[in-house]
Each structure stands twice: as structure tokens, then as C-alpha cells.
Structure 1
Amino acid sequence: MTKSYKYRANLIIDGQKRDTIQLSDNVLYAARLDDLNDPFEGSVELPKSESQEYWVTPLFHELYDVGIYSMSAQKGQEKFPNNELLWAHYANSHKGFCIEYDLDILVNNLSKDFNISDKIYIAYQDERPEVKESDKLFDIRTKVFGTKSLAWKYENEVRLVFRTSGLKPIAKSAITAIYFGLNISLDDRRDIVGRMAGRSIDFYQMERVEDSYRLKATKLTFDYSHEIVDFNRRPTVDNYMVLYKSPNKDKNTMCEFVEQFRHRLTRPTNITIIDDIRAKPVLLNYKPRKMMSKSEIDIQEKHWIAYSTFDAPESVWMYPEK
């Protein structure tokens, strides 16, 4: 499978989450050339006449309603969309999401009535290309639609070029996974999962790799397996310690778990969540940090996952090391 990625901001436009709606409606939006963010889009040098230089950009903008759908091509053995700049620039600083396509299925099921070129992998270079009189049509298309300056190389772009701009239907099977940004809201994540339920799509949550600048993608299992390992009742509040057994420990998942856990409670409750039973004695037998052993500190930092207090039941505090 040849993968490609589309980073989405999921902003509210005219009162609607445009990107989520297009995702669930199985359409993509091919933008006009003059709506793209590169001011040199479509710029090539045409054959000169009497030392006068012409660019094709104004001509295309004026005469043609070409539509462009840009994606990021998979790099080598890249297993998930981990381009930090694309998450920041096109996914609303991780508040959005990223669509993973099977590029072959996507291209092979597009209407040929609309397509100018199946797909073009962008070439990046210092100078804009020169269109020569001897160029064949394919060469001209590649130069006009498939060349950008080196400043854009980090995008590793592959694009579809249509005869017209606007919404284009795609095959449902072309979408193979959805990746949620670090800062996506729980409501947005739930909305997308609900809309895409029943389809053969995997959902992943982007997370930080501890002690590094790297990202990781954890597959969402929607499994909230747990065990209550300690309970005590005070006059005004109950205290639960929960051993959490699911692989998903991001904040949104913790919020979902706490919400579900509290549904059956009848009293104000503090909830402590750990993922290793060794953390139980460390947390129950509280010591000032300066009196803790290195082993105890390590266990607390790695295995105390989250905490939710009785006086702020809708909030979940994640241990800082997470």
C-alpha cells in the first residue's frame, strides 16, 4: 500500500466543522490555484520573446479553474504522519487530525472526467522551471503543477490535479486511518470516531515520546480494562486507586475512562490511576520527594498516570512526566 497523508485543521467555518464533514461525506476539496498558500504556485518561465519574460501563473489563474488536492507522501519506512511542521501548520497546532489514504485506491477510483493528472510528486529546486517549445504536454504539466521552491521541501508533497476545483467524491476504502493531534479536543475526537464507525478504519492518538522531541502514534482500542486495587471511605469523600490495563493512556482516553468510572458513583470521589501495581505502595505511603529512593521516584514518574479530584470531577490531571 502506498500511503499519503492529509493534515486537517478542523476549524469551525460558517458554524460547521468543514473538515470533519468532508471526511464523513467521503469527499475531498480541490482548491483553486490562487487559493493555495504558495504565491509562486504554477510559476514557470515561458519561452522569451524580445527579451520579455512571461509567467504562466496569471494565465492559469485567469483562464482555468484548476483544482489541487495536496497531500504529504509517505517517506521511506515512515509508519505514521510524524512531520512536526505539518502538524503545526496544517493541523491547527495539533488540535486537528490527519487522514491516511491508500493512495492507489484513492487515485484509481477518481472520476477521469475531472482528472488532469493521476498524481504528481512535487520536485523542489532553486529556480522555477523553464517551459520549452519542445516540451511534451506531460512535461509542461509536471513543470506547472509539480515544481516548487526548496522552501517547501519539508512538505514532501504529492498532489492530485483536477480540471475543476471543488468537492470530489472518493472511494470509502481509500481512507485507511485517522490520526488525532496531541491537542485535539475530546468532543472533536468523539465526533470523528462516531461518524466513521462501522468502517474498516484504524484510529490513532498522537503522543509525545518521553525525554525526546519525537512523536509516536498509539492505536486506540477503546478498551478501558481496569482493576480497583485500593479503596477507602472517609466521612465526606471516597478514594479509589485504579490499576489501568489498557495501552491507551493519553489525556482524552483518561477523561473518557474517568467519566465512565464516575457514572456508577454516588459520593464525591478522588480517583488515582496507575498502570503498575508497584506504584500502589509508593503513592499510599507518601513521602516528601527528598526522602524517596531513586527507585520510588522512577516508579512514581513512570506509572502514576492520572488523578481526578472530588471537587473537580470533570477534570483529569496527568502526571507531569506524561
Structure 2
Amino acid sequence: MEEKKWRNEFFDNYFKIEVDDEQKWLDCKNQHLTKIFQYTRVKHAKTLILDDLMYLREIKDLNDPFEGDLLYDLDEFYKNPIKNPSLDKSDIKNIFHEANKSMKERVYIACFADKNNITPMWNHYSDGHEGICIEYDLNDDKLLKQIFFPIAYVNENRNKEILRKLYNGADYGKLTIETFSNKSIEWEYEQEWRIIIPKGTNNMFNIIWKDNKPYIKFLKPRSIYLGYKIDERDAYFIKKLCEIRDIPVYRMIKDNSSFNLTYIPYEE
């Protein structure tokens, strides 16, 4: 099943109000969730490589201005017979805004991709190819897989269905996950996976605070990939960190036969 198709089918089926084959779609998700990559800057290397700590972000810190937004048609909800007749359109708009804002403040996010050679990702998240990309193996970690979800890249109409579900009695916890598992199709190149952790719940992962920032204990990296423009001093620094934990290091290079990046073992 091609990448976009299975992601959107998972999104459309797993998040139905009534799902008869929920486990089928969780199994589908986990079959695709074998290894993931995080693009990042060199300054974060020590925490990720030596400490196995993964930084958790809040929605307001992400770069998509529509991140976590629930779209709606105001006229549609204003005409809804269950509305309070004392509310005008501006009241309803404020209610939606505050509800959405509250939802955004209740989760932590960590973002990943499913490939190590996505050129825009290197440019946007790995310091213009001067950073690194870290590979993690998720094959045997059933516990961690439970909080990983693929992002579906959808149109406005599919997003608008989420708020309608709230009025139709959808499970709020699952609705929260659905809210942060979709983005505009213009972000499709990222092929993103993300960890979604509700704040203030008795979840399976303890939040670790370091320098006033939230982290979770994560996995030992499987491999490290150096950006093809990385400074040699930074490359040497990364190599020495990886030697401590016996982690292989590769360097990204341009594939001269295509518009793709590939990699080779890093040699000092």
C-alpha cells in the first residue's frame, strides 16, 4: 500500500466513532512503524546520543501555524438545532476558539520522519544540512509504539469532520489524538510520525525535566547520519560521542545519478 494511501486510510478508519476493526488498523500502523528518524541540530546531539532523552514540544512551538486547528463552518454550527438560542455567531466562534486552544495546551509532541534522505527535512530541521539525522529501531518496542501515530495529509473537509464528531459523542481521548494526527497536504513531503502524550494523565512514560524542558526516556540510537554540509569539527564531535556507545556513523552525500541523498560510512 503506497505511503499516502495507507496513512489516510488509517486516519479515516481508526478514528471512526464506531470502529469494528480497530485492532486491524493498529496492526497496520505497527507494521509500518519499524524504524524512524529525527532530524535535528548538532547542539542536541549529546542529550539524544548519550542520555537517550527525547525532547517534547508543545503545539505552540511547532512551525505549522495551523497545527492542531479544528476547522469549521460557522454557519453550519449556528444553524444546528442543538445550539443555545441565546448564543450569536461571535459567541460560538469564541467557544470553538477557546476549546481548541485548551486542547492544544494539553499535549506534548515529538516529531519524526520515516526516511533519512528527505532533502527539505535536512534543510528545515537539521540546520541547512549542517546537522544530523538519528535513526531509531522500533521493531521490538511494543510499549513505545502505542504512542506513535502517523500523520495523514488531508483537505479541509476531512479536518472539519473532527469537530462534528465532538457533537456526536466521540471519545474525547481518541478525538485528541485525531486532532494532532492530521495536517494540510502541503506538508506531505515530511512523511511524519509523532509521539502524542496527553499532559497530566497517568501514562506509561514519566516526564523528565531538564533545564526546564520536558523529555521522556527514549531509545538508544541505531545509527547517526551527518548532514552533507556538516562542519568537520562537528562531525568529529558526533563521531566521538558515538564511539562511547558503539553507534555507527554515516555521512550523507548527493547521489549524482538522481535528485536524492544517499550515505556512506563516515571516515575522519
Structure 2 length as normaliser, TM-score?
Answer: 0.66
Identity value in percent? 27
Letter in 2 for 1:102: D
Q: Does 1:206 align with 2:247?
A: no
Letter in 1 for 2:123: A
CA displacement at 1:22 relative to structure 2: 3.4
Higher relative contact order (CA 8 A, sep 6+): 2
What residue is the counterpart of 2:103 in the other structure?
A: 60
Take 1:208 and 1:167, find their aligned partners in 2: how far apart are those partners?
A: 34
Partner deviation per Cα, 1:203-243 (whole Å, 9 max, x = no partner):
111111225422211123x4xxxxxxxxxxxxxxxxxxxxx
What residue is the counterpart of 1:122 in the other structure?
A: 151
Take 2:170 and 2:225, find their aligned partners in 1: how far apart are those partners?
A: 41
Q: Would you say the 8 A contact 1:124–1:150 is kept in 2?
A: yes
Q: Would you say the 8 A contact 2:40–2:131 is kept in 1?
A: yes
Point out the structure with the larger strand share: 1
What residue is the counterpart of 1:166 in the other structure?
A: 214
Take 1:26 and 1:87, find their aligned partners in 2: how far apart are those partners?
A: 21
1:1-322 → structure 2 map (5 Å cutoff): 2-10=34-42, 17-45=43-71, 48=77, 49=83, 52-53=92-93, 54-55=96-97, 56-61=99-104, 63-64=105-106, 66-74=107-115, 81-105=116-140, 108=143, 118-127=147-156, 128-129=159-160, 130-131=162-163, 132=165, 133-137=168-172, 139-164=174-199, 166-172=214-220, 175-210=221-256, 212-220=258-266, 222=267, 253=268
CA displacement at 1:198 relative to structure 2: 4.3
Change over 3 Å in CA distance of 1:57–1:40 after alignment to 2:
farther
Change over 3 Å in CA distance of 1:185–1:9 after alignment to 2:
same
Change over 3 Å in CA distance of 1:141–1:58 after alignment to 2:
closer
- Partner of 1:31, secondary structure, is coil
Larger Rg: 1
Q: Would you say the 8 A contact 1:105–1:171 is kept in 2?
A: no
Q: Would you say the 8 A contact 1:7–1:86 is kept in 2?
A: yes
Letter in 2 for 1:216: T
Q: Would you say the 8 A contact 2:177–2:196 is kept in 1?
A: no
- Partner of 1:197, secondary structure, is helix
Take 1:72 and 1:106, find their aligned partners in 2: how far apart are those partners?
A: 17
CA displacement at 1:182 relative to structure 2: 0.4
Structure 1 length as normaliser, TM-score?
Answer: 0.56
Q: Would you say the 8 A contact 1:73–1:157 is kept in 2?
A: yes
Take 1:137 and 1:67, find their aligned partners in 2: how far apart are those partners?
A: 16
Take 1:9 and 1:107, find their aligned partners in 2: how far apart are those partners?
A: 28
Q: Would you say the 8 A contact 2:45–2:238 is kept in 1?
A: no
Take 2:186 and 2:152, find their aligned partners in 1: how far apart are those partners?
A: 12
Q: Aligned-residue CA RMSD in angstroms?
A: 2.6
Take 1:192 and 1:41, find their aligned partners in 2: how far apart are those partners?
A: 32
What residue is the counterpart of 1:268 in the other structure?
A: none
Letter in 2 for 1:8: T
CA displacement at 1:6 relative to structure 2: 0.4
Point out the structure with the larger helix share: 2
Take 1:70 and 1:106, find their aligned partners in 2: how far apart are those partners?
A: 17
Change over 3 Å in CA distance of 1:188–1:9 after alignment to 2:
same
Q: Which runs of 5+ in 2 are unaligned?
A: 1-32, 78-82, 200-212
Change over 3 Å in CA distance of 1:108–1:69 after alignment to 2:
same
- Partner of 2:147, secondary structure, is strand
Matched pairs, number: 200
CA displacement at 1:82 relative to structure 2: 1.0
Take 1:73 and 1:210, find their aligned partners in 2: how far apart are those partners?
A: 23
Take 1:159 and 1:104, find their aligned partners in 2: how far apart are those partners?
A: 16
Take 2:108 and 2:141, find their aligned partners in 1: how far apart are those partners?
A: 16
- Partner of 2:57, secondary structure, is strand
Partner deviation per Cα, 1:48-77 (whole Å, 9 max, x = no partner):
34653424431224x53x210000124xxx
CA displacement at 1:43 relative to structure 2: 1.2
Partner deviation per Cα, 1:78-108 (whole Å, 9 max, x = no partner):
xxx1111101111111100000111345663
